[in-house]
């Protein structure tokens, strides 16, 4: 029998590779939004009161975990896709890992406490005030 061009069969990759890629993808697609929502709710202002410093610290730890999941799972999937010599999957997983890293850093910035306001200086009067001797000091000069 004569073999035709293109009839050569590709070696079958193990089923576990596809299974692990599916599990990593599902973990990324389901786990990342749940963790991100939980992190955002850690610093939710309830009844007009800002979160306590301990709540900010907890939210920042959760943001680090979210970033690790959002960038780590696609990173592992990328490595596995490269090792199994897939064609498109490594590019998709690399983009997902970068997206997860950027999203995690944005989330960390969102749950970080705002910088404290600059202290109010009380080095002079706030209104024009005339002193004895005809001297007047006014705010701004």
Q: What is the pLDDT of residue 106?
A: 93
Instruction: Assign 130 a pLDDT band (cuts: 50, 70, 90).
Output: low
Q: What is the pLDDT of residue 32?
A: 94
CB-CB neighbours of 96 under 10 Å: 22
Q: The tokens of 119 are what? A: 């202290």
Q: State the average pLDDT for the chain.
A: 82
How far is the C-alpha of 137 from the C-alpha of 90, rounded, in Å? 69
Q: What is the pLDDT of residues 61-104, one digit of tens each?
A: 999 999 999 999 999 999 999 988 888 889 999 999 999 999 99
Q: Is residue 135's pLDDT more than 80? A: no
Instruction: Identify whether the C-beta of residue 65 lies closer than 8 Å to the C-beta of residue 35.
Output: yes
Domain ranges of the chain: 15-113
Question: What is the pTM for the complete model shown?
Answer: 0.68
Instruction: Identify whether the C-beta of residue 35 lies closer than 8 Å to the C-beta of residue 76.
Output: no
**131 Cβ contact list (under 8 Å, min separation 6):** 137
């Amino acid at each position: 029998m004569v073999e035709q061009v293109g009839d050569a069969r590709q070696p079958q990759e193990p089923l576990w590779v596809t299974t692990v890629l599916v599990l990593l993808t599902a973990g990324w697609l389901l786990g990342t939004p749940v963790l991100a929502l939980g992190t955002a709710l850690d610093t939710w202002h309830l009844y007009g009161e800002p979160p306590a410093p301990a709540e900010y610290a907890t939210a920042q730890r959760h943001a680090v975990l979210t970033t690790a999941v959002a960038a780590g799972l696609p990173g592992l999937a990328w490595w596995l896709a490269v090792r199994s010599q897939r064609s498109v999957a490594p590019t998709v997983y690399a983009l997902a890992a970068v997206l997860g890293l950027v999203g995690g850093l944005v989330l960390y910035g969102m749950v970080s406490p705002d910088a404290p306001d600059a202290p109010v200086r009380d080095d002079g009067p706030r209104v024009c005030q005339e002193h004895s001797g005809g001297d007047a000091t006014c705010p701004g000069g």
